[in-house]
Amino acid sequence: MPEFQDVADGLGMPLAEAMSTQRAVRRLRTDPVDDETLLAVIELALKAPTGSNGQGWEFVAVRDGDVKHQLARLNRQAYSVYRRFASTRARGDLKAARMLAAVQWQADHFENSPVIVVACLRGRPGIFGFGRAAFYASIYPAVQNLLLAARGLGLGATLTTLPLWNRTLVRRALGLPSSVTPCAVIPLGWPVRGGYGPTTRKPVGEVVHLDHYGNRAFEQRVSGISTES
Amino acid sequence: MPEFQDVADGLGMPLAEAMSTQRAVRRLRTDPVDDETLLAVIELALKAPTGSNGQGWEFVAVRDGDVKHQLARLNRQAYSVYRRFASTRARGDLKAARMLAAVQWQADHFENSPVIVVACLRGRPGIFGFGRAAFYASIYPAVQNLLLAARGLGLGATLTTLPLWNRTLVRRALGLPSSVTPCAVIPLGWPVRGGYGPTTRKPVGEVVHLDHYGNRAFEQRVSGISTES
């Protein structure tokens, strides 16, 4: 299995290429992820912005089998509900069916992820919409940096929130005080197969509105990036 | 002022360099940001993951003076409250004082930003903590991609949530239906001065816990990235 020095060059990947080939990589080998690789992706997570530069994050990296088992159980409980909705949607939709198969694989093998990172934020989301948005805006940018860094290194990763359906049990599993909120669960490991690759998205003109919602002024336009590729 | 073809090479910036030199750039020139640049940063935002690949985002790009004025007023109203807390904290803390001065500058010049992007998500955050986390986890990763793409291009940007303190008025200003939630407000423009540069963060070992919260097993460790620099 690769160690950090074998893959470190990947952090020099061109920015747009890293973004354009980032995808959820759920099928992970059980081989270990070394400390340097783990610390590198978290260190780059810390470069993300936080409200008032508060940097109130805490990252619990779980390698212990018992703790992983507890997270896996929470994930499976939420997944069993999620599957009912998702499988209806996946009927006749090949892409959705493929994704569901990967989510199923992940649910079945969750505790075998070599390391599961739980990204947490000190404090509580607050009761007003505004406070909640400000709160989560101080942790998910860091999570995205972590995922992009993983993509650069070729390390498989997924952003999941399913195991968080019961935060009390997540806090108990990780020994988190009630003043620390778990926000994202990210299984990390080397991909079973290639893993990363280009993704497809709606054209940018469909989701951009000029000045007022509904004014799709760029509907016929492609960005300079689209033109290049 | 640069146009997209002058700065497009910046999207090839090495991933780790882009992350390590991303910072809030609040002092913006009033010169226009061309369509291609605007669409490029939003197109890269769309590469981010969303729950169940739902891609429920909508981006309102505001150039209209009247709409910018309404956002600026909402920002100033929240800022006047924020300043009371922040100025206490900034006393005797040079870095915090510098940031507050920049936030003040931004509040004073908000409507002069050449374009203000409001990142929205279809749906509502839900009433349970789990649902809220899953909701916001489907928009802030895209916002972080947008900020990193802006950094690559040398385009100044900040993630703010202050104008969202009153979502009803934000919806009214943008013509958003109640089924679409505004989540982040990002003024974009070419920096008054250089803008981007290295940031300082806590050492990674201080925020990583192994298996259980409080077990700072990597406290004496630096990542491979730290060793390189």
Could you read off the pLDDT of B63-89 as tens digits, one per residue?
A: 999 999 999 999 999 999 999 888 888
Predicted confidence at residue A226, as pLDDT, reads 60
Residue of A20, A140, A175 with shortest CB distance to B140 = A140
Nearest CA distance, B29 vs chain A (angstrom) = 20
Position B228 pLDDT exceeds 60 = no
In a shared domain, residues A111 and A213 = no
Tokens for B35? 């369509």
In a shared domain, residues A78 and A166 = yes
In a shared domain, residues A125 and A156 = yes
Nearest CA distance, B106 vs chain A (angstrom) = 14
Tokens for A72? 């896996």
Residue of A44, A48, A129 with shortest CB distance to B167 = A129
Residue of B144, B152, B181 with shortest CB distance to A144 = B144
Position B182 pLDDT exceeds 80 = yes
> CB–CB of B48/A143 below 8 Å?
no
Predicted confidence at residue B11, as pLDDT, reads 98
CB-based contacts of B93-102 (< 8 A; 24+ apart in sequence):
B95/A53, B96/A53, B99/A52, B99/A53, B99/B24, B102/B24, B102/B26, B102/B27
In a shared domain, residues B106 and B209 = no
Predicted confidence at residue A85, as pLDDT, reads 85
User: How many A×B Cβ pairs under 8 Å?
Assistant: 310
Say yes or no for a CB contact (<8 Å) between B174 and A55: no
Say yes or no for a CB contact (<8 Å) between A60 and B175: no
Least confident of A89-98, A104-113, B95-104, B127-136: B127-136
Say yes or no for a CB contact (<8 Å) between A205 and B20: no
Contact residues, B window 81-140, toward A, CB-based 8 Å cutoff = 86, 89, 95-96, 99, 120, 125, 129-130, 132-134, 136-137, 139-140
At B124, is the pLDDT very low, low, confident or very high (cuts 50, 70, 90)? confident
In a shared domain, residues B122 and B152 = yes
In a shared domain, residues A133 and A217 = no
Q: Number of folded domains in chain A? A: 2
For chain B, the average pLDDT equals 94
Radius of gyration of chain A (CA): 19
In a shared domain, residues B206 and B182 = no
In a shared domain, residues A214 and A167 = no
What is the helix (H) or strand (E) element at residue A66, kind and residue range?
helix A65-90
Predicted confidence at residue A229, as pLDDT, reads 41
- Residues 6 or more apart whose CB falls under 8 angstroms from that of A35 comprise B218, B221
CA atoms within 13 A on the CB side of A42: 33
Say yes or no for a CB contact (<8 Å) between A67 and B136: no
Q: What is the pTM of this model?
A: 0.96
**Chain B environment of A42 (Cβ under 8 Å):** 204, 207-208, 223
Domain CATH number, residue B57: 3.40.109.10
Instruction: Flag residues of chain A having pLDDT under 50.
Output: 227-229
Q: Chain-centre distance of CA B48, in angstroms?
A: 15
In a shared domain, residues B205 and B97 = no
B229 at A interface, C-beta within 8 A: no
Nearest CA distance, B196 vs chain A (angstrom) = 13
Residue of B nearest to A129 (CA): B165
CA angle A209, A210, A216 (to 5 degrees): 45
**Chain B environment of A8 (Cβ under 8 Å):** 224, 228
Nearest CA distance, B154 vs chain A (angstrom) = 13
> CB–CB of B145/B47 below 8 Å?
yes
Among the listed residues B218, B144, B8, the one whose alpha carbon sits nearest the alpha carbon of residue A45? B144
ipTM score above 0.90: yes
> CB–CB of A180/A121 below 8 Å?
yes
**Chain B environment of A78 (Cβ under 8 Å):** 130
Predicted confidence at residue A184, as pLDDT, reads 98
In a shared domain, residues A217 and A118 = no
Grouping H, G, I as helix, E, B as strand and the rest as coil, residue A157 is: strand
What is the widest separation between alpha-carbon atoms in chain A? 54
d(C-alpha B134, C-alpha B110), whole Å: 30
Distances (CA, A) of A216 to A204, A205, A207, B61: 10, 7, 8, 10
Phi-psi region at B156: left, alpha or beta (left = phi > 0; alpha = psi -120 to 50):
beta
In a shared domain, residues B58 and B17 = yes
What is the helix (H) or strand (E) element at residue A77, kind and residue range?
helix A65-90
Residue of B61, B133, B226 with shortest CB distance to A210 = B61
Could you read off the pLDDT of B21-48 as tens digits, one per residue?
A: 999 999 999 999 999 999 999 999 999 9
Domain that holds residue B228: 199-229
In a shared domain, residues A144 and A178 = yes
